[in-house]
Amino acid sequence: MNLQKLVCTYKSKPTSKLKSNILREALPLIKSIVSKVNHPGTPLCEREDLINIGATGLLQALESYTAEKDVKFNTFAYYRIRGSIIDYLRSIDELSRTNRARFGAAQQAISILQQRLGRTPLDYEVAHEIELTVSEYQALLSNVQQRVAFSLDYDQNPDTESSLANRLEDHSFDLPDQVLISLENSEQLQYALKRLPEREQLILAMYYYEESNLREIAEVLELSEARISQIIGKTLLTLKSELKELVLA
């Protein structure tokens, strides 16, 4: 019996056995969603933890789903599962005031160094400017990439018709993606993108337009996933600095 039939049977006559069968049938869907979600490698979000969180989202979807909804259960559940995982990741991603200040300082330093050097500054140059070690600065860049990966998700929830981006919006800090979203189709963004080094243009194209994950990009460019994450974070900060200057010009 497929997932849709199991759900319809359960909704007409719910039993614990049917619920277990639904969970088992939907497990590949949950695992697939987990594999596509960008998440920091911490003890609080190992793969099995996220699968369990996804299972909780599935069960919540099962209870709120009705046959009258003009959508199949696996589509309806997809957004509940993913939403549960993203909400959990957001709950453990507490960005300290120190890091918020560092984001702003890094963005300003990139802008200043670009004008001073006439090129995109290297990691150690920005780190020196904001008085961080290179490893601390690179960790900060990875943090940018991870947070933006969440907030750029515009999949529509068929139940609430609201985007995950809206649900995850952080009003306490102006993230780099907010400028990119507002200027997505503008000439300013196109101009800023063309000024990026070829490698950065390729990485952004693969990540945002081809929807490649960090591992796939790393394999193509023969770099580590961590380094790709850092490059994306730095590129977003660089773009935001350039777009701010273009808008004010």
User: Which one has a higher pLDDT value, 200 or 152?
Assistant: 200
Residues 214 and 191 in one domain: yes
CB 189 within 8 A of CB 209: no
Q: What is the CATH number of the domain that holds 10?
A: 1.10.1740.10
Residues 116 and 219 in one domain: yes
- pLDDT tens digits for 215-228? 899 999 999 988 99
Residue at token pair 């140059």: 125
Residues 87 and 157 in one domain: no
Residue finishing a domain among 44, 64, 92:
92
Give me the mean pLDDT over the 9-37 stretch: 90
Report whether pLDDT(7) > 70: yes
CB 22 within 8 A of CB 62: yes
Residues 15 and 30 in one domain: yes
Residue finishing a domain among 44, 65, 92:
92
User: Domains in the chain: how many in total?
Assistant: 2
Residues 65 and 157 in one domain: no
Report whether pLDDT(178) > 50: no
Q: What is the CATH number of the domain that holds 221?
A: 1.20.140
Of the listed ranges 21-30, 99-108, 159-168, 199-208, the one predicted with least confidence:
159-168
Residues 104 and 180 in one domain: yes
Instruction: Determine the pLDDT at residue 156.
Output: 36
Residues 77 and 179 in one domain: no
Tokens of 225: 């996933």
Residues 8 and 22 in one domain: yes
Tokens of 111: 């802008």
Domain residues for 86? Answer: 3-92
Give me the mean pLDDT over the 152-180 stretch: 38
155 — pLDDT class (breaks 50, 70, 90): very low
Instruction: Determine the pLDDT at residue 126.
Output: 93
Residues 119 and 240 in one domain: yes
Give me the mean pLDDT over the 149-153 stretch: 48
- pLDDT tens digits for 46-91? 778 888 889 999 999 999 998 776 788 988 999 899 888 888 877 6
Residues 69 and 190 in one domain: no
Angle between helices 73-92 and 3-12 (to 10 degrees): 90
